[in-house]
């Protein structure tokens, strides 16, 4: 067994419905303990269970890469010591960019199929990159869910000191649109 398995023992991480990124964590842990699993397979400690082929391991790695932007976005939004509402637009942009890159970069594979499916659902909920993600009206989608980012969250990002450097650029990009919607700033 190589050095990656030595040290503190690792438990298996199980998928739970209360954590959005639990599947990503579960796959990540399986990949960490892959050498130990390989040794156990060689020693036939799993009985008659099917062994994971190299293509299965590759699919797990690709699936983790597709799920990782959602984990990062959720972790960003979980801050307990700071306000996170102003980070929603940033998280949406980050997730969309990562999924788009995966759908474009991947050759036909499980990862491309999964990324394409998730990007389609994501754009249904948060609007497409070419559509107005930020709007002064609240639009409801499937199951009465908010579509896009609520205007108040855009204002929160605008006022957040963490986005000082990008505020001017954001304002320049949105100012023609905002000027045409005279009720936007009157919240």
What are 131-164's pLDDT values in tens digits?
665 556 677 777 887 788 877 887 888 788 877 7
Structure tokens at 113: 């199929």
- What's the pTM value of the predicted model, to 2 decimals? 0.71
- Mean pLDDT for the chain? 77
**What's the mean pLDDT in 18-28?**
83
Better pLDDT: 7 or 140: 140
Alpha-carbon distance of 89 to 149, in angstroms, equals: 6
Single out the residue of 178, 140, 131, 139 nearest to residue 158, CA to CA: 178
Q: Do 62 and 106 form a contact (C-beta atoms < 8 A)?
A: yes
pLDDT reported for residue 1: 45
């Amino acid at each position: 067994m190589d050095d990656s398995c030595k040290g503190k023992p690792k438990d298996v991480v199980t998928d739970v419905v209360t954590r959005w990124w639990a599947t990503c964590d579960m796959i990540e842990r399986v990949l960490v303990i892959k050498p130990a699993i390989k040794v156990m397979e060689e020693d036939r400690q799993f009985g008659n269970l099917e062994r994971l082929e190299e293509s299965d391991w590759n699919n797990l790695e690709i699936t983790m890469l597709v799920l990782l932007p959602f984990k990062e976005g959720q972790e960003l939004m979980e801050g307990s010591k700071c306000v996170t509402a102003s980070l929603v637009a940033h998280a949406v942009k980050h997730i969309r960019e990562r999924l788009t890159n995966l759908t474009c970069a991947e050759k036909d594979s499980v990862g491309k199929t999964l990324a394409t499916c998730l990007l389609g659902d994501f754009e249904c909920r948060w609007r497409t990159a070419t559509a107005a993600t930020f709007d002064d009206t609240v639009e409801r989608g499937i199951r009465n869910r908010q579509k896009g980012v609520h205007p108040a969250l855009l204002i929160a990002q605008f006022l957040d000191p963490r986005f000082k450097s990008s505020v001017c650029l954001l304002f320049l990009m949105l100012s023609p649109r905002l000027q045409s919607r005279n009720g936007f700033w009157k919240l």
